[in-house]
Chains A and B, each alone.
Chain A
Amino acid sequence: MATVADKPRLPRKRSRRERRNDGGSALSTYGLLAPTLLVLAAFFLLPLYYIFLFSVALKRFSPTEALAALNGELNGFSGELWGNLVSWNVDVAVLGLDFAIPAVLIGVVLIVLLVLTVAGGRLSERHGTWIVGIAFALLLMPFLTIPAGNSLLRIMQFTSEGIQLNLFFKSVTMAMTSSVIAVIVAIPVAYFLAFCVQRSKYTWLLIVIAPFLTSYLLRVFAWKVILGDQGLINSGLMTIGIIDEPLTFLIYSQFTVMVVLTYAWVPFICLPIFLAFETIDRRLLEASMDLGATRWQAFRKITLPIAAPGVVAAFLFVFIPSIGEYVTPTLVGGVDGTMFGQNLASQFVGGSFNWQYGSAMALFLMGVVLILVFATSRFLRAGGGGL
């Protein structure tokens, strides 16, 4: 248009006045943020910095060098603690049979599977869901526990020279198993609430979630009452006469820890899965059936793919806090059910007392969890929408 051709050009520089005039000066914006950021810096980031210093032996607990030597603490910068913790020589056994697969190979396979889980959807339009699903299943598999006779067997057993790393693998296995079971239990519950309950749906949801808000310790304790040697199950079975003496694996074992972890988190993860189902447009399902799909096909082709991010998020909501568990194994785990978090804690307040080694363990645990969170943040965001 002739009318615009001869207008003066606008300087393309960002102007300082280029902002909303809602009284929101930079001063007030950062002034509001400052207290929160300061508190986090002082009481979250700074402490983490301290355990980093401890973990590389730049700080020590013992006031004098002589005491440090006595406590087995290192003096001056050293990566020895980390080397001790993260041993690269890992033996692998599958279903109890030692295959002696090189640990590097296993690591590569696991990383490939993780990448496929996170980014598989982008590889193929048509098969994306399948790729992600299968990769995810394969990723879980090695860490699952299966019952074998009177005991439990890990599908894949990692054995390392490092005692702590072995314990960490065991903790991952226990956390993974309870998370998967919790998700499997929560899906039908959430599905029932979302699709079958018509009236006061949210009240029922609250009834499901409410136990999560009650004392965690007491719920753990209550399971002691159920599973203990004189507990509900053992005394019940003995009264009926099925067994003569208490089933010992019920209490103070890996099994107990996994049961309690599953129980503790199921109510909570019903929420993200429920929300994932609830947000599905019913008309999609009706349309698919109108086009001839059976109920099962509609579930498989529509409900499940749409709800998948919520389900994965639910899994992570259990898995992440469970890896570092400390209270549950202490109360019901016994020797068999010991977890990494307990050993970590004992470096600070318990028998093994070594702050430097404990700090390295803590950072290692945090690192693994944060990598996991970062890799799966897409799912966490999808599932966390309703929280």
Chain B
Amino acid sequence: MGARDSSTFVLISPIGKRVLLVFFAVFLVFLYLPTILLVIFSFNDSTVAAFPLDGFTLRWYELSWQTGEIRQSLSASLKVAVASAAIATLLALLGSYPLARRNVRFRPLMSALLLVPLVVPTVVVAVSLLTMFQRGAIPIGLGLPSIMIGHVIIALPFAVLILLPRIASIDRRLEEAASDLGANGLQTFRFVLLPLIFPSIISAFMIAFVFSIDEVVIASFLSSEQPTYPVYLYSGLKFPEKTQALIPVATIMILISFLLAFGAEAIRRYGERKLEGR
């Protein structure tokens, strides 16, 4: 934000720039205030999250750690998230490659089908799966596998949106060169395409994972006895007396989310740098 930058000066007056800077600062406070409050209340020595504050304590952290339900729900969520992210990424990879590279009949229809779960309201996906799992042709009932399937459906478009443009952006001649040098389809994928799209595969997985670990609508419709972490949180938030024990976990989860977000970005940048050979 150099003061003597002339290109910026052309676009916006110094006063306008200052106004925007203030707006931006206020915006950041607005954005991060709720998170900061959560962190503060996780150390607040009171049974309700309300002002004024009552002093410092670590007992809520102790309580969350000792609450078995929280640990179980976290582990359930982790299982669902890892499985659904892995499957969604794999399916997105399988679907994106032919759409990006091959002559596919009804290509627009196919890509639309891959992306449409993104815009169908989640609650509709949830209730439609609920009806099918309970009264339809695939009566597997409710539980973690059902939740996992629901998450795969919604995470798939995200993964496709990451992988499809990446595959399409890779020079087709690289694959031709490999095949010219004697590589078969699998070798071309393994030695040329895979290393080049690997960072995108990781970020597709991470996006799908982050989505699943926080998804509450599908999970609450399709869960049976064992809730996932968001479902447990959701029911906890509706009952204030259970809330306080949830805040420390929430705080830690938020920190992990931030780390994941910045980590994913760092990986992406590293991948790009590696490609440029720097």
A residues apposed to B, CB below 8 Å: 19, 22-24, 28-30, 32-33, 35-37, 39-40, 42-44, 46-48, 50-51, 54, 59, 61, 185, 188-189, 191-193, 195-199, 202, 206-211, 213-226, 228-232, 235-236, 239, 263, 266-267, 282, 285-286, 289, 295, 298, 320-321, 323-324, 326-327, 330-331, 341, 344-345, 348-349, 355, 358-359, 362-363, 365-366, 369-370, 373, 384, 387
Chain B contributes a number of interface residues (CB within 8 A of A) equal to 97
Complex Cα gap A103–B214 (Å): 41
Select A326's contact among B13, B217, B253, B262, beta carbons within 8 Å. Answer: B217
Q: What residue of chain B has the Cβ atom nearest to residue A220's Cβ?
A: B237
Select B113's contact among A40, A43, A345, beta carbons within 8 Å. Answer: A40
Select A43's contact among B121, B153, B185, B253, beta carbons within 8 Å. Answer: B153
B258 lies within 8 A of A210 (CB): yes
A348 lies within 8 A of B221 (CB): yes
**Can you spell out 7 A-B residue pairs with CB atoms less than 8 angstroms apart?**
A23-B188, A36-B94, A37-B95, A39-B152, A44-B117, A46-B137, A222-B35
Query: Is residue B273 contacting chain A, with contact meaning CB distance below 8 A?
Result: no
A219 lies within 8 A of B35 (CB): yes
A216 lies within 8 A of B216 (CB): yes
B37 lies within 8 A of A225 (CB): yes
A263 lies within 8 A of B30 (CB): yes
Q: Which B residues are CB-close (under 8 A) to A216?
A: 214, 216
Given contacts A33-B95, A362-B121, 14 further A-B pairs with CB under 8 A are A24-B185, A44-B125, A51-B128, A208-B31, A213-B210, A213-B260, A215-B254, A217-B234, A217-B237, A295-B12, A324-B121, A326-B122, A331-B238, A384-B161
Complex Cα gap A290–B36 (Å): 46
Select A199's contact among B1, B34, B220, beta carbons within 8 Å. Answer: B1
Query: Is residue B61 contacting chain A, with contact meaning CB distance below 8 A?
Result: no
Complex Cα gap A215–B37 (Å): 14
Select A282's contact among B7, B132, B150, B188, beta carbons within 8 Å. Answer: B7
Select B124's contact among A22, A286, A365, beta carbons within 8 Å. Answer: A365
- Given known contacts A28-B185, A47-B132, A36 and B230 CB-to-CB distance under 8 angstroms: no
- Given known contacts A43-B153, A231-B50, A219 and B98 CB-to-CB distance under 8 angstroms: no
A355 lies within 8 A of B131 (CB): yes
Q: Which B residues are CB-close (under 8 A) to A363?
A: 124
Query: Is residue B119 contacting chain A, with contact meaning CB distance below 8 A?
Result: yes
Q: Which A residues are CB-close (under 8 A) to B114?
A: 36, 40
Complex Cα gap A221–B254 (Å): 13
Q: Which A residues are CB-close (under 8 A) to B32?
A: 211
Complex Cα gap A59–B132 (Å): 11
Give min CB distance, A169 to chain B, whole Å. Answer: 16
A37 lies within 8 A of B110 (CB): yes
- Given known contacts A225-B34, A285-B10, A365-B121, A327 and B24 CB-to-CB distance under 8 angstroms: no
A interface footprint on B63-107 (CB within 8 Å = 1, 0 otherwise): 000000000000000000000000000011011011101111000
Q: What residue of chain B has the Cβ atom nearest to residue A377's Cβ?
A: B112
Complex Cα gap A69–B114 (Å): 40
B261 lies within 8 A of A210 (CB): yes
Complex Cα gap A366–B116 (Å): 11
Complex Cα gap A235–B34 (Å): 16
A189 lies within 8 A of B261 (CB): no
Query: Is residue B5 contacting chain A, with contact meaning CB distance below 8 A?
Result: yes
Q: What residue of chain A has the Cβ atom nearest to residue B31's Cβ?
A: A211
Query: Is residue B156 contacting chain A, with contact meaning CB distance below 8 A?
Result: yes
- Given known contacts A33-B110, A37-B95, A235-B50, A267 and B11 CB-to-CB distance under 8 angstroms: no
Give min CB distance, A338 to chain B, whole Å. Answer: 14
B216 lies within 8 A of A327 (CB): yes
Complex Cα gap A33–B265 (Å): 29
Give min CB distance, A234 to chain B, whole Å. Answer: 8
A61 lies within 8 A of B135 (CB): yes
Query: Is residue B2 contacting chain A, with contact meaning CB distance below 8 A?
Result: yes
Q: Which B residues are CB-close (under 8 A) to A345?
A: 123, 127, 221
Q: Which A residues are CB-close (under 8 A) to B214?
A: 214-217
Complex Cα gap A124–B95 (Å): 40
Query: Is residue B57 contacting chain A, with contact meaning CB distance below 8 A?
Result: no
A24 lies within 8 A of B132 (CB): no
Q: Which B residues are CB-close (under 8 A) to A29?
A: 98, 102-104
Q: Which B residues are CB-close (under 8 A) to A192?
A: 20-21, 23-24
A195 lies within 8 A of B50 (CB): no
Q: Which A residues are CB-close (under 8 A) to B217?
A: 326-327
Complex Cα gap A289–B38 (Å): 48
Q: Which A residues are CB-close (under 8 A) to B190?
A: none
B129 lies within 8 A of A30 (CB): no
B34 lies within 8 A of A223 (CB): yes
B104 lies within 8 A of A222 (CB): no
A interface footprint on B1-45 (CB within 8 Å = 1, 0 otherwise): 110010110111100110011011001101111110110010000
Query: Is residue B195 contacting chain A, with contact meaning CB distance below 8 A?
Result: no
Complex Cα gap A286–B12 (Å): 11
Q: Which B residues are CB-close (under 8 A) to A298?
A: 11
Complex Cα gap A229–B49 (Å): 11
Query: Is residue B55 contacting chain A, with contact meaning CB distance below 8 A?
Result: no
- Given known contacts A225-B41, A359-B131, A366 and B51 CB-to-CB distance under 8 angstroms: no
Complex Cα gap A341–B217 (Å): 11
Complex Cα gap A35–B94 (Å): 8
B20 lies within 8 A of A191 (CB): yes
A344 lies within 8 A of B123 (CB): yes
Give min CB distance, B62 to chain A, whole Å. Answer: 20
- Given known contacts A225-B37, A387-B161, A370 and B113 CB-to-CB distance under 8 angstroms: no
